[in-house]
Chains A and B, each alone.
Chain A
Amino acid sequence: MSKKTMYEKIWENHLIHQESGKPAILYIDLHLVHEVTSPQAFEGLRLSGRKVRRPDLTFATMDHNVPTKDRFNIADPISKQQIDALSKNAADFGVKLYDLNSLDQGVVHVMGPELGLTHPGKTIVCGDSHTSTHGAFGALAFGIGTSEVEHVMATQCLQQSHSKTMEVRVLGQLKLGVTAKDLILGIIAKYGTDFATGYVIEYTGEAIRGLTMENRMTVCNMSIEAGARAGLIAPDQTTFDYLRGREYAPQGAAYDQAVEEWKQLTTDDGATYDVVVEFDASTLEPQVTWGTSPGMGTNINSVVPNPADFPTLNERKAAEKALEYMGLTPGTPIKEISINKVFIGSCTNGRIEDLRAAAAVVIGRTVSSAVEAIVVPGSGRVRIQAEKEGLDKIFIAAGFEWRDAGCSMCLAMNPDVLSPGDRCASTSNRNFEGRQGRGGRTHLVSPEMAAAAAVAGHFVDVREWETVPVGAN
């Protein structure tokens, strides 16, 4: 039998039809839906008289437009219209919706895994590029456009061409205090924001094996920032343990049987990837981005680069534009960059472990008087768990605002936005111009680094601080 990669196995398990010269038709096991990219798809179904073929495989929530304070009072009428449209569409088409009244409502990529909807070997899509998050379980998960959302609703299938495969082999172990966020930021800083375009990445290596499920989600989440179609991590005991007992995970004997099947998914010894790249984790330091693309990052003990040092003309121009937008001067030590906003949350770093890590830094400390800082749990369940552990009290005592679940300041579609000139240490995934609000300047960092910056008012190497473990770790 030929040796196969995990991607190839999942692909073959879902192949409905293949003709040469045409995209394959692939079956989709789980369709996640949110309010921004779905209204036109539901409308398309209505216009053509079609139904949602498998409402039982379709789950919706509202996250992007949701206010994180006073959440039922949506001031923006167009946001409200979009939220209301999803409620109506879900009811009309029989789709399960976790709305603002639901405990499970949250950022779609936090909610899905938490409910146990995300399983190894599944094909998972959502009208959202960070669907790559679910690859952490060894599921083939990727973002699609609204036309494809309609296509999946109508057919439970997608037309797909086979991607090339790339192994990102992480060598060595992360040093103490260096996180999964630093790892993925470091990989993208080294290889660029389009090195994986056309590829499905599989992350391998001891450092990856050592990550918790939530850390793995942070890594896979940002695969799209490398241009990848999807990111995968082979399932192992960590994965199986995470899933056991979750609402939509197989239960009892079915769980044991599923685990046996999931074990078969891993890439065969001797299977080959189209490309292999290596990344040395052992020398990595905490990362901070300085520019307007996730690849424009460096380590905390470094300086803002000089555009003149970049090899190509286009890179030099891009770096110049970025520094102009970011209001930064080449040569400035990263530690001397002052910030006035901090955002801890998003589908990259809004899970319970992220909040514990941030709380461990702020406990007994106070947010700088120059900084406004918010913590936004990724879902209602994360919020409740955090409150059970007393994390909310730690944050509030330090001067953070403690909010309700949603996408919040990750993308500025709701009331949480930066003002022009604001400089934010953010645990989200994109630092594009205007991403967090027009004229706002985003520095992507880990939850620990964001928490430390909130206290100091500028970036610091959090490893130099003593921290106190908190929560049920």
Chain B
Amino acid sequence: MEALRIVEGLTAPVDRVNVDTDAIIPKQFLKRIERSGFGQFLFWEWRFDEQGNVISEFPLNQPRYHGANILLSRANFGCGSSREHAPWAILDYGFKVVIAPSFADIFYNNCFKNGILPIKLSEEQVEELFVKTQATEGYALTVNLEARTITDTNGLSIEFDLDEHRRQFLLLGLDDIGLTLKHEEKISAYEAKRASNV
């Protein structure tokens, strides 16, 4: 996994609560057996109408948000299914950071497995970022994972909380399976004890 340290770039708003994984990537696109290439399907039903025409009001279709790598949304982002296709689509589309007041549990976990940083801020802080993003074309943020800060060029500075283990995990781009397998002896001992109990 790619390490993540500092993300600088445009912020794109998706102003809805409870953005679910069916909205992030509809199920008709879950049939691929690869990990890549899901970005084109991100928010499909919000980006395109039934005939496949671009829905121009949807923020990601507006030129001002093209190339954004920080996604801004509302509470309970990523609720619904456990499909990792959701973070794969977000990452493949170009987002490295998602900011929201809260995230659904499985989605939140899945982000870290894929080098995406989900940041929880208060409702007020998120509202402030929405106002700024919508008011100023080209509004950009710098997210510094080392310092746990979000800044803009006009003096905004927000600190965010993050579990230290998760932070290290992203900073170093670690391999989970490798970490667990360091405890191979303990796992085998547990299995042996279990087997003798039966």
Contact = CB atoms under 8 A, between A and B. Distances in A.
A229 B33 contact: no
Nearest to A36: B30
A78 B165 CA distance: 38
Given A154-B177, A430-B22, A412 B28 contact: yes
A79 interface: yes
A235 interface: no
Interface in B43-60: 45, 50
Contacts of A39: 33
Given A82-B33, A154-B181, A194-B104, 9 more contacts: A25-B186, A36-B30, A37-B83, A145-B106, A145-B113, A147-B176, A317-B16, A413-B27, A433-B22
Contacts of B110: 145, 147
Nearest to A420: B50
A317 B74 CA distance: 12
Contacts, number: 164
Contact of A23 (B35, B165, B183): B165
B75 interface: yes
A198 to B, nearest CB: 7
A17 B79 contact: no
B102 A40 contact: no
Nearest to A261: B197
Contact of B35 (A36, A40, A64): A40
Interface residues of B, number: 51
A359 B198 CA distance: 43
Given A145-B106, A154-B177, A434-B45, A318 B26 contact: no
A129 B81 contact: yes
Contact of A413 (B28, B74, B181): B28
Interface string B1-33: 000000000000001111010110011101111
B84 A155 contact: no
A289 B187 CA distance: 45
A432 B75 contact: no
B180 A157 contact: yes
B156 interface: no
Most A C-beta atoms less than 10 A away, residue of B34, B75, B84, B190 = B84
A112 interface: no
A293 B31 contact: no
B76 A194 contact: yes
Interface string B104-135: 11100110011000000000000000000000
A156 interface: yes
Nearest to A48: B177
A104 B3 CA distance: 44
A128 B31 contact: no
B179 interface: yes
Nearest to B45: A434
A314 B31 contact: no
Interface string A68-83: 0000000010110110
B61 interface: no
B161 interface: no
A127 B22 contact: no
B76 A227 contact: yes
Nearest to B26: A434
A3 interface: no
5 contacts: A16-B190, A50-B177, A148-B113, A151-B176, A435-B27
A55 interface: no
A94 interface: no
Contacts of A427: none
Given A17-B183, A76-B31, A194-B104, A143 B16 contact: no
A338 to B, nearest CB: 23
Contacts of B34: 40, 43
B186 A17 contact: yes
Contact of B106 (A144, A150, A157, A254): A144
Given A147-B114, A197-B104, A413-B28, A434 B35 contact: no
A58 B68 CA distance: 41
A413 B30 contact: yes
B180 A155 contact: yes
Closest A-B pairs by Cβ, 3 of them: A39-B33, A147-B113, A143-B82
A317 B80 CA distance: 20
A156 B187 contact: yes
A454 B100 CA distance: 40
A144 B107 CA distance: 9
Contacts of B22: 411, 430, 432-435
A247 B180 CA distance: 32
A65 B31 contact: yes
Given A36-B83, A78-B31, A227-B76, A193 B18 contact: yes
B102 to A, nearest CB: 6
A81 B16 CA distance: 35
A159 B84 contact: no
Interface in A299-351: 314-315, 317-318, 321
Given A145-B109, A432-B23, A193 B79 contact: yes
A27 B32 contact: no
Interface string B162-175: 01110000000000
B16 A321 contact: yes
A71 B191 CA distance: 39
Given A23-B165, A79-B31, A82-B33, A438 B50 contact: yes
A155 B80 contact: no
Given A144-B106, A413-B27, A43 B190 contact: no
Given A159-B176, A413-B27, A197 B102 contact: yes
Contact of B33 (A22, A85, A127, A151): A85
A439 interface: yes
